[in-house]
Structures are given as C-alpha cells and as structure tokens.
Structure 1
C-alpha cells in the first residue's frame, strides 16, 4: 500500500463506508490523513489527529471542493439505494447518484485530486427489464442494458459511465485524473440495516422467488478490501486499473436471494413453494405501480410489492471477478464461514436487544 496519502471516503458513515474507514485505520502507518464525509454524521468513527469527519452533501460544489483539496485518493461510496423499491423518486436517485458523482469528479479536476475509486453495483449491468439471465458473466459480456430493471440500476450505470469517461482528464495543475469502478453484488455483513430488515421479513417464510434462481452475495470486508486494492493500483505507476470497471465477489455460496438469509439466521425458514404464481405476483405489482403513479402528485407511495425487485429475485444473474483477481491482485481475506458467522452473530445481537 502506498504510504503517506490523504484519503477521502464519501458515504464514510454508511455500511460499506464505515468498513472502509476501519480497514484504512488498520493501516494507519500508510495514511497522512483520512477525511470521512457523509450527509448524516454518526459515531461510526472518532475524530483524531489523522481522522477528520465532515457533514456534507456530495452535490455541493463549494463544500466538496473544500474537502477534496489536497487529497490523493477519493473512494466514492456515497449513494442513494432504493430499497424498498420506490423509497426515492427517479429524480432523487438521478440527482444524488449521477449529478452528485459528476460534481465530485469535477471537484477532483478543480482541486488536482489524482485518483477516484467508485462503488458501482451489479445493478448497473443487469438484469434488464425482460429478465434475461446471465451466469458467471464478465465485464465485457454481451448483454442488453438498454432498459435495466430498476431506476436505481439505471442511475448507477450512468454514474459508472461518467467515472470511466473522466479517466485521463487533465486536472487544474496539469495532472491526469485516474478513475475506476467496482461492481459488487448485494453486500452483507455486520452493520447492514438492510440485511436486518430482510431477515425480519424472511422470518415470515413467504417465498416470492423461484428456488431455481441463483445470485451472488459478497461480504462487506472483502468488498472494502477490493476498494483499497483498486486505489493502490490507481496510485501505482503501472496504472493498470485506470478507466476500467471490475466485478467483485467472494466465496459466498451462489444461492437464491431469499434462501441466503437462512444461512444468516436459524429462525428463517423459507417455504419451498411460492406464495402465488409468478404471473399473478407481477400482476399485483403492476396494480401497485399504477397506484403509485396516480398518487405521485400528492405523495411518494412506496408499494409493498413492485416489479423491479420481483424481477431481480426471479432472474439468475451473477458475475465473475477473474479480472479483479488478475489486475488488482484481489483475493478475499474473509472466508465464507467466517463472513457468515460474523454476520449471523451481529444479526442475533440486534434481534435480542
């Protein structure tokens, strides 16, 4: 790991961001300064001589330029995640995930920051609106991404494209900006409020996804490691990661989305058969979608069932990370059983408090 660098972590008080912060602090001797940025600051990290915490919105040009000034590496993990589907409007997702990312990239150019690693998502690649399957896909796999299944995925695809387009652009002082993007699948681990919500819902046992459908998950510690390795490669002279996107996963078993939560909580037992035929679930989701449109002028109605997550959990779709292993030297440091146990212990503690 290159020494004496200043890092900026956006979304640094969030789930992935807080793990990135902890992992960087474990390598304290390599860090000149760590700037943790989040729109809502919590007690995820204690400020000290090397660590500074900033409450800021990534859409603010003035504020982010001030924070980024003098930094060497930005790891951009801040994002709106639309779960449950419909929590945010398309406009809100685009404003934060795309315009916010573009603002941060322009701040890099204006303040002479040389490296940016972006947290993209498997959703930026698929599945598409038709639910075309893809097994063990690579970064260059031919896949129709014209219409992705969710507004979130569309916003992440657009932001990812911006990040790669900015690679090689000239900064204010004549340097070159180096960028890359990482595409993790669903990230699980201790601290994930999303996992906790999924476990609580899964305890009902209701199956809405075919047991034959498979997907990948990845442990947060391994995803955080991939980000630090990508940053190392951007800083290094060879520049092998510059302008590239990398799929990220680990040895977590490839399994059904709902069945996965049986691994994390012994109280979760998903029914073997779907609660209703898939066509009927889509029909119900369509009714809720129409209702959301009708209510849009008055409120943001969040439907209990919608087409995008229904399609995602009924489409076999997962990617291969051989390219990250080769270019970044990525090799997960947390094995599946360790990742599972750490997550399960955290979930059990949350459920008993």
Structure 2
C-alpha cells in the first residue's frame, strides 16, 4: 500500500531516527508533504534532503510538544503521524516533571490533536525498555510479543515510555471529528545504532581517554540484539503502509511490535568493540569491577544522592538498574512484525556495520581534538 499523496507529521524530525525516517520517506514514497516537527530544526538538515525531496513539500514546525495549539496546527490536514520525539534518559538525570511532560503529556496532547484534526494513522516509537529488564535481571532470549515477563520498571524513562505507549494503543479506534476512526500501533526497537548515535560517540570518547581501550561494562554472556537505525526507519514506513490498508488496519491497530534485524546477538560492550575495533580500539577483558561490587558502589552513590537531594541535586554516573540492564541477556524476534507489517530489514548486518564504522571514523579526529583540548 503506497503513501503517495499523503501528508504526514514526523515529531522529533531533527533527531537520530527522525532524520533517517524523513529521508526514507522521500526516497521511497511520493508524498504530498512531510512536516518536520521538533523544538529546533537545523537548516543543514533541509540542505541534506534537497537531492531526494522531488516534488514533496517539506515544512518545518518548530515548537513544544507540550503545546496543544501548536500540535493542532501541525496536524491540520495531515493523515499520518510518526511520533518519535521523546526525552531519552538512562541515568534519571532529567527532572520527573520534565520527562513526564514530554514523554507522556506530549503524547496525550498529540493524540488529542489527531482526533480533533482527523488524522487517520498514528505510529508511536516506543522502546525495548518498556519491557525491561527488571531489577532481578531475569533474562529473555529471542522473546516475542506474547512473552510473559515481570517488568517492574525502575527508570523514569522506561515508565513514561510505557505509559505513553499504553495511551497510544488505547486510543486505537477512537472517533475522529469527521466520524472516522483513529488507527494506532507502537514499535519497540531494540537499542538503535548507526550514523548519528550519540551513545556510540560517548563510548568512543571514553575509549580515547582510556588510551584507546574501551571500557567493559557488560559481561560477554549478556546477549542483546541491537538494531540498525535504517531498519528501524523501514519498520515505521511499513507500519504506516499497513495502517493505510483497509484490510490490515484493524488487524494491527492497537498492537505493539518488536523491531530488530540480523545484527548478531552480543553484549553491549562487545558490540561497541565490533564497530570500533577497525579504528584501533581494544577492549577490557573483564568488567571494571566484579558485578556484586558494582551494585554496592551504585547503591552507595544512590543513597548519598538521596541524602543530599534537599541541598543539591547529584546524578550518579551509574545506577544499579543500568548495571542490571547492561548485564542481562535480553533479545527479541521480529517475526511478528515481518508477518503483520511486512517488515524485513533493508540493510544487512555487514552493510550496517560498515556504515556505522565509517561514520565513527569520520568523527574520530574531531573527538580526539575535543578531548586533547580539555
């Protein structure tokens, strides 16, 4: 099912995944208009999209996701919303009111804008972290959408993404102003890597400071399956196509899908080494400290931060839940997305790795210069 002639809104269009999705839409579909919604859109982004835009109109909507009037204006006349924008925070560094306001309240306001402005389809970018891992570190290996698991989420980020996802799925089939019905679905990507991934840059910077040796924060046996950003964009496109198809719309509406690809199952730390080893980086053989000691250190830092909270806000660089996440086997299958959405990875593991490593190589001189200047 083609999206030709449609008008869509992409929230978070200036971000890591948002930019990739906009480019894919321009390359794969002849849409009437794509609206780039974000707090700020860099002019350079429009220049990079110039060669593939064709006859598609690109419109910039800069504003706050918590502004209902702004969202209604952005959605007016649109038929599809890709809701990617959110605050990503695995350190609990962002104030609760801020992250809840953007991730949950912003999603609710956007859903309300869709109902008021007769937007037919809504695709929500969720995360694997709404599933876990839980604080016990219970593993999941090659799980599916039917896997039963005690989430007991600890991160504020995970909790707010979970609530926003639930609100999205509950909004499926709500009545639009014109009498039609809204169709929604949610995509749960694994850890997303690729060109523009700020987490990879951060790990590379740490490795540079450590004499080109990457820190090991994950046990080799804690297997996960990261996903390439280009393939996550493909999944979003396939979800939009499926929601437009009258025969498939209700079958997938109100459901969530895990999104991954054929990237090998490895630990987070070993994945960093795989994509950075061609650049001259090695990796520590063992964890910096035994796992039990890491948990004790994190516990002490967390207690100190709570005691000092009335006087000063201190964010521990590492928390127990993050240590658990980095050291728990947690992998899933994309077979349901393949069956229901027609999703299949466009980029092979070899292509994804090559593109990611080449991008890191292009960033390496700048990273070295910034670090040496400090």
Q: Deviations over 1:189-223 (max 9, x none)?
A: 11112211122224443323221111110000000
- 1:93 partner SS: helix
Aligned equivalents of 2:147, 2:118: Cα separation in 1:
34
Q: State how many pairs are aligned.
A: 350
Query: Hey, what does 1:345 align to over in structure 2?
Result: 358
Please report the TM-score for the alignment, with normalisation by the length of structure 2: 0.90
Aligned equivalents of 1:114, 1:297: Cα separation in 2:
47
More helix by share: 2
Query: Hey, what does 2:58 align to over in structure 1?
Result: 51
How much has 1:90 moved relative to structure 2?
Answer: 2.8
Q: Deviations over 1:107-148 (max 9, x none)?
A: 111111110000000001111121111111111211012x21
How much has 1:299 moved relative to structure 2?
Answer: 4.4
RMSD between aligned residues: 1.5
- 2:147 partner SS: coil
Aligned equivalents of 2:4, 2:309: Cα separation in 1:
51
Aligned equivalents of 1:196, 1:117: Cα separation in 2:
28
Query: Hey, what does 1:256 align to over in structure 2?
Result: 267
User: Which structure 1 residue ranges, 5 or more long, are not aligned?
Assistant: none
Please report the TM-score for the alignment, with normalisation by the length of structure 1: 0.95
Aligned equivalents of 1:14, 1:222: Cα separation in 2:
16
- 8 Å contact 2:214–2:284 — kept in the other structure? yes
1:326 aligns with 2:327: no
Q: Deviations over 1:246-300 (max 9, x none)?
A: 0000011110100101111123322222221111101111122122223434444
How much has 1:27 moved relative to structure 2?
Answer: 2.9
- 8 Å contact 1:149–1:311 — kept in the other structure? no
1:136 aligns with 2:149: no
Query: Hey, what does 1:36 align to over in structure 2?
Result: 36
Q: Within 5 Å, give how 1:37-186 maps onto structure 2.
A: 37-42=37-42, 43-46=44-47, 50-83=57-90, 85-145=91-151, 147-186=152-191
Query: Hey, what does 2:255 align to over in structure 1?
Result: 244
1:189 aligns with 2:194: yes
1:228 aligns with 2:237: yes
How much has 1:320 moved relative to structure 2?
Answer: 1.2
How much has 1:100 moved relative to structure 2?
Answer: 0.8
Query: Hey, what does 1:291 align to over in structure 2?
Result: 304
